[in-house]
């Protein structure tokens, strides 16, 4: 059994347990927010998704920098998988945000600074994945993706501090460095963050395992083609 499969399995089991309990923690255990009411419950999924988005894209930037420095394929694989999982959670952020916004702001979307910057980040990493999927030169693609991953990372501090730098529509509960929440809401929130972290790690390790297996398979196919070409030349001689 490949090593990444073991943590993927362990984190996957923990994530399943957490995901089974998380709805109870968010909907039943945590109290109702007095101003936003039931709509605020999406907070327990929206904000943890944003945290996992940050982690995924930060890891992508780190592994991208390591790839540019050491030119080792394994760092490109980790960067690619981190970007893919980060993009998944970024999509969840963009989906859960409007669900929260509609009953509170009266509209699904506003060109709020934080929302716009998050959409830009999503587009950057969609372009990252397209480079991987459609580029014929894998080495050149890896270099371009590494640079793009680092550029995308530079957008994240702007997203995080957008509520301080510009006037935004985002509620105070997700502003600043500390969450002004009652104890029951804090417990539910941190439980959901931990659950999403387990889910993030499970998906990441699984994707790395699959990508490494795919890379090894491509290497074997390339070796077989080379041997066939050599045998063909010997046979013609």
- State in words which class domain 5-32+39-229 has: mainly alpha
Q: What is the pLDDT along the chain (237 residues), one digit of tens a residue?
A: 455 578 888 999 999 999 999 999 998 888 887 777 777 888 899 999 999 999 999 999 999 999 999 988 899 999 999 999 999 999 999 999 888 878 877 787 777 778 888 899 999 999 999 988 887 777 888 899 999 999 999 888 888 776 666 665 555 444 444 456 788 889 999 999 999 999 999 999 999 988 888 777 767 776 676 566 666 665 665
All structural domains of the chain with their residue ranges: 5-32+39-229
By the 10 Å C-beta count (0-12 exposed, 13-18 middle, 19+ buried), 226 is classed as exposed
Question: In this structure, what token pair is assigned to residue 143?
Answer: 């270099």
CB proximity list for 224: less than 8 A, separation 6 or greater: none
Q: Are 75 and 65 in contact (CB under 8 A)?
A: no
* Rg, C-alpha atoms of the chain: 22
pTM for the model: 0.84
Grouping H, G, I as helix, E, B as strand and the rest as coil, residue 33 is strand
CA nearest to 60, candidates 138, 139, 140, 155: 155
């Amino acid at each position: 059994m490949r090593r990444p499969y073991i943590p993927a399995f362990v984190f996957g089991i923990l994530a399943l347990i957490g995901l089974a309990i998380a709805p109870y923690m968010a909907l039943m255990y945590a109290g109702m927010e007095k101003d936003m009411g039931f709509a605020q419950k999406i907070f327990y999924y929206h904000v943890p998704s944003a945290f996992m988005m940050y982690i995924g894209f930060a890891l992508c930037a780190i592994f991208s920098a390591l790839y540019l420095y050491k030119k080792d394929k394994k760092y490109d694989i980790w960067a690619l998988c981190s970007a893919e999982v980060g993009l998944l959670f970024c999509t969840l952020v963009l989906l859960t945000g409007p669900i929260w916004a509609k009953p509170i702001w009266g509209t699904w979307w506003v060109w709020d600074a934080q929302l716009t910057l998050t959409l830009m980040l999503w587009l950057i990493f969609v372009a990252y994945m397209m480079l991987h999927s459609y580029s014929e030169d894998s080495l050149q693609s890896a270099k371009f993706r590494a640079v793009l991953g680092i550029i995308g990372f530079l957008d994240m501090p702007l997203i995080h501090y957008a509520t301080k730098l510009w006037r935004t529509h985002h509620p105070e509960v997700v502003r600043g460095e500390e969450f002004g929440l009652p104890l029951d809401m804090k417990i539910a929130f941190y439980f959901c963050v931990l659950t999403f972290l387990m889910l993030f790690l499970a998906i990441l390790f699984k994707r790395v395992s699959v990508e490494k297996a795919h890379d090894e398979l491509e290497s074997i196919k390339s070796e077989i083609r080379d041997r066939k070409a050599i045998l063909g030349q010997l046979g013609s001689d």
